[in-house]
Amino acid sequence: EAQVTQNPRYLITVTGKKLTVTCSQNMNHEYMSWYRQDPGLGLRQIYYSMNVEVTDKGDVPEGYKVSRKEKRNFPLILESPSPNQTSLYFCATSGQEVREQFFGPGTRLTVL
């Protein structure tokens, strides 16, 4: 079954404590990206990756890092989380020839 998994699904943390949200896909897709969703603002892209070792900034990259060492994984790293990064985060993937993006189930992050 085609899947995009995210872990953890829920996280409450404190300001400044580094955290990583993992994203993994089993579809051998080249393209992966991270979005955040906030009330009234819709989904906004944070970072994306066209393939292994190729990453680039989206619309709201400040305060986030990513890496793409393997095709299946695309972790989102918050080195020093702040309360304004409290949000619902989604990972998405698609293949090169496919216009359909698959989204993960989401990670709800609260930074106190």
Residues in contact with other proteins by CB under 8 A are 4, 31, 33, 35, 40, 42-45, 48, 50, 58-59, 90, 92, 94, 99-106
Q: How far is the CB of 67 from other proteins (least distance, A)?
A: 19
Q: Closer to other proteins at the Cβ: 3 or 15?
A: 3
Q: CA end-to-end span of the chain, whole Å?
A: 37
Nearest-angstrom CA–CA distance, 110 and 52: 30
Q: How far is the CB of 94 from other proteins (least distance, A)?
A: 6
31: tokens are 């393209």
Length of the chain: 112
